[in-house]
Amino acid sequence: MPSLVLTPSRMASSFQSMKCPFCGQTEDRVLDTRVQKDGSIRRRRECLGCKARYSTQETLIVDYPFVVKKDGRREPFSKEKILSGLEKACQKRPVSHAQIEAVAERIASWVINRGETEVPARLVGKRVIAELKALDDVAYVRFASVYRTFKDVQEFVDSLDDLELDFVDSNSPQLTLKPLNP
């Protein structure tokens, strides 16, 4: 989950009362607050009207900006797609899943912290490449050489987006690609 700084207003709203499922009263009292393993927050509440007790579970939902491609198409940023692209580049490399997760997390946080509603696809591509360079030389070269077979950066990033990129194993000197059907 991307790291987010909660603004005071967001924090205040997280303590908002819930409508009682039994009597409809909109005021309650929080008896207990617990952070779950998945990062969601569980609150035990007591209705101020009928004294019934119930729990709520709050999950942080992040609205990612749109990724804008060269042709103007927009689609919501997807951390899963970044993860998948990184995993392909790092196949059979001494890179742990945790490291790949951390990179995807950093990229997702970067996208959110830009504070814009849109991010150009080529910027995301550049960021992925910069992260890979720091992570693993071979993964970086793989990525970069596949990247060069495309006409331009954008085409490459589009292929990432479409998850059509298919890396052959690291023993092969030639990198081949599945046909792309954009």
Q: Give the residues lining the site for Zn ion (CB under 5 A).
A: 20, 22-23, 25, 47, 49-50, 52
> Considering all CA atoms of the chain, what is the largest pairwise distance in Å, rounded to the nearest integer?
72
- CA atoms within 13 A of residue 89's CA, in its CB half-sphere: 30
Shortest separation between residue 49's beta carbon and Zn ion, angstroms: 4
The string of DSSP codes covering 39-55 is S-EEEEEEETTT--EEE
Min. distance of Cβ 44 from Zn ion in angstroms? Answer: 14
Nearest approach, Cβ of residue 19 and Zn ion (Å): 9
Taking the complex as a whole, the smallest distance from the CB of residue 23 to Zn ion amounts, in Å, to 3
C-alpha torsion 91→94→99→100, nearest 10: -10
Give min distance, CB of 116 to Zn ion, in A. Answer: 43
Q: What are phi and psi of 6, to 5 degrees?
A: -80, 130
Q: 41 or 52, CB closer to Zn ion?
A: 52
Angle at 35 between CA 31 and CA 37, to 5 degrees: 145
Q: Which two tokens stand for residue 76?
A: 């919501």
For Zn ion, the closer of residues 20 and 135 by Cβ is 20
Cβ closest to Zn ion, residue 54 vs residue 110: 54
> Which residue's CB is nearer to Zn ion, number 23 or number 62?
23
Q: Are 30 and 16 in contact (CB under 8 A)?
A: no
Nearer to Zn ion, 23 or 130 (CB): 23
